[in-house]
Structure 1
Amino acid sequence: MTTLNTLQEAKELPELFMKSKEEITFWRMLRRLSDRIRFDLDDRYLDKASKIEAYRMKDIVIKLADHQLVITKGDKSKTLPMDDLLKQPSMVFKEILRMMD
């Protein structure tokens, strides 16, 4: 269920599925890296989906789960605490850039 406030502040469709400030911060960070971000929802049908399960950018998969951010590229994986998105966003940004190389 989308609130009126979320609907008014959303700039793009994926933002309607984001439930926390961390998710919105993360989405905007990814948009700085690429305009070709795909995402996996928790349901195949858009009107039944309630959350984003994973973000995909090039050959990187990023999941937000259990208060952690898991960045995966092939057989490499990096796990960061979700709190880092708000406390140290530049560090998270740099980690994603490192995984893109």
Structure 2
Amino acid sequence: MSETCLASLNFRQLTSGVDYYPSPSAWEDQVLYFLMLDRFSDNKEKDCKDVDSKTISAATTPIFTDIDNQNAIQTETDTWREKRSTVDKSLSK
């Protein structure tokens, strides 16, 4: 295949003889969904429920709210620190 753009793909040929399955109606019930979101967890989320459906109140990370939207990096200095932190983490792996 040497296609260089979507317009040059023959979708009929690519999809013939292949079985496809519909997406789940509730992704939150799928294991992959839980694994994907767990990637962003620090295991310290306050007021969330644990695996036994008990509320975790002693944790330190507050639940995300609308007020938190777009407020992670406030200044140019914060931007620099965030980028530096990301680079340091990548280099340490």
TM-score by length of 1: 0.25
Q: Which has the higher contact order (CA 8 A, sep 6+)?
A: 1
Structure with greater strand percent? 1
TM-score by length of 2: 0.26
- Which structure has the larger Rg? 2
